[in-house]
Amino acid sequence: MLGRNSAPLGTNPGRNKKALIIMVSVLALLFVAGGVIYWWLSKDDPGKNTGVPGQTVTQNGNPASNVDGQNGPSVPAQTAPQPDLSRAETYLSEPGLKCTFFVNYPDGMSGIVDRYSGQAVPNESVRVSEVEVGIDMGEEYGFGFHYVERADGTYYIMDASPFEIFPVLKNNLTVGQTWSYDTESGSINYKVMDMGVDLDLGFAKFKDCLLLSEDNQAVGHQSITYYAPGRGSVYVVAPGGNFEYFKMTGMTKIDSAEAAKTIIKWCPNYSDIKDDRAQNT
């Protein structure tokens, strides 16, 4: 998947630029010859470098400042219940966020994308929706995704393909856990590489990230996605960390009505989206 925020490879609803093939995802979602170079973060080295200049990951650490955009020392410990890191829904983006990303597109293009998360779908089975909006050659474009929770984990539906549903993360998450998704072109294999990882992206630090590798055999693409609790996918890199596909560079909270309006604008099928078990999976 291209992260929870990008179309799966091989299911591009339009132009390549409308499917950020950057991940596991995205979608994945953010979406290869040789074996996967596993990015294993040692529990005995809490300050291990990611291999990407200026970014440091700590394992179950307590950053001194700027955690998730907040100043660490000013935030009392245990101010909120600890999220259940074993549940897939923990890693969905909470409604009312506008997040900015620098992305590298599969066709070699790169640019800035804004991701909006909110609640606009009338069907209660849809937990949250997201749209990614960018500008190319002066033209604004966008595409959307809708997320539902099932007994075995979180799934998403592309607004452009309302009768297909794809897995994002499985429940009872543990390091080493694997699952796969089969397409007509080939399988997409997922593996949980690590959990409880703290990621520093410069403008903010994200606690308790989950690292998911994706081997998309349908298109020969591999990636590792960082999912942060309540923030969705925040960072997607090639195995080994030597190339960035998707990197959050800013995050602001926005009015829920504004978020819903943006989702409706770019999701023409939003009112028809539902978790229909007759969908293709």
What integer pLDDT is reported at residue 79 of this predicted model? Answer: 60
What integer pLDDT is reported at residue 10 of this predicted model? Answer: 38
What integer pLDDT is reported at residue 42 of this predicted model? Answer: 33
User: What torsion, rounded to 10 degrees, do the Cα atoms 88, 93, 99, 105 define?
Assistant: 40
- Burial status of residue 244 (CB atoms within 10 A of its CB: 0-12, 13-18, 19 or more): middle
What integer pLDDT is reported at residue 36 of this predicted model? Answer: 28
Whole-model pTM? 0.73
Beta-carbon count within 10 A of 12 CB: 17
Q: Mind listing the pLDDT tens digit for each residue in 47-70?
A: 343 434 334 444 443 333 344 554
pLDDT beneath 50: ranges in the chain: 1-67, 70-78
What integer pLDDT is reported at residue 185 of this predicted model? Answer: 82
- How far is it, in rounded angstroms, from Cα 31 to Cα 113? 16
Query: 174: which DSSP letter?
Result: -
Query: 130: which DSSP letter?
Result: E
- CB burial of 79-98 (b: ≥16 within 10 Å; e: otherwise) equals eeeeeeeebbbbbbbebbbb
